[in-house]
Structure 1
């Protein structure tokens, strides 16, 4: 299933991994928000942790060009250290509803959220990102 990606950290426009992975491979990039999620600081990148009623994470909905989609999906899984079924994965790719800022419409998208072990540690001792907006933070 070719879903758009919701990106909220280093893959956002203007951030380092956008140029390395997404530039020239997308049809559209538009502001969006993911509900029931808390954003935490990581070592140079953020983690989204699912938490019902927890807040909103802001980012972009990125739609890949059809011819780039299969390769991009595999590259992003490697970047995010996601291995399906492996509980040690740094991130887990999940399908979630993301709301487009422009019109308020909900769109199904792939989102990389913190893996189970990472999320557990962050809930106990992590530093939350106020307002769910990571871009522009002093890092």
Structure 2
């Protein structure tokens, strides 16, 4: 699978109106469009949500396409924000490539998604607060 230049699917504080949208995405994107991730549900985190992979669930969010010259810097900035380091067992999130569905036409796009790391996902499933409807801003 080629993951060289995937767009990103954002579902929490990086969405339009979220506290990190402007500081991280401002001036770095060429497209932002409503989309959904199937096969995942949202859980409350400490001021931000976690997507947990679970069959039958849907998470609402936005598909973000970086301007080509900002791609590498933006992906590195998002990794830092999410405290994601490839292979680190202390990660709260894992960056994975998943299919995302565009709201405008139902087409499927492969995108980077930060999902809860396995240990975090297990804790959330056991005693977390699920966000019904899978939409962080309207929780």
Q: Is the 8 A contact 1:87 1:116 kept in 2?
A: no
What's the counterpart of residue 106 of structure 1? Answer: 108
> Where does structure 1 differ by over 4 angstroms across 4 or more consecutive aligned residues?
none
Q: Aligned-pair distance for 1:90?
A: 0.9
Relative to the length of structure 2, the TM-score reads: 0.96
Tell whether 2:81 aligns with 1:97: no
Kindly tell me the number of residue pairs found equivalent between the two proteins: 136
Shift of the alpha carbon at 1:136? 3.5
1:5 paired with 2:8, answer yes
> In 1, Cα distance between the equivalents of 2:103 and 2:138?
19
Cα distance in 2 for residues equivalent to 1:18 and 1:90: 20
Q: Is the 8 A contact 1:5 1:111 kept in 2?
A: yes
Q: Mapping of 1:1-139 within 5 angstroms?
A: 1-53=4-56, 55-137=57-139
Give the CA RMSD over aligned residues.
Answer: 0.7
Give distance in 2, aligned partners of 1:135 and 1:64: 22
Pick the structure with more strand per residue: 2
Contiguous gaps of at least 5 residues in structure 1? none
* Deviations 1:80-137 (CA, angstroms, capped at 9, x unpaired): 0111011210110000000000000000000000011111100100000010000133
Residues in 2 aligned to 1:29 and 1:50: alpha-carbon distance in whole angstroms:
23
Q: In the aligned structure 1, how far is the partner of 2:124 from the partner of 2:23?
A: 28
Gaps of at least 5 residues in structure 2 are none
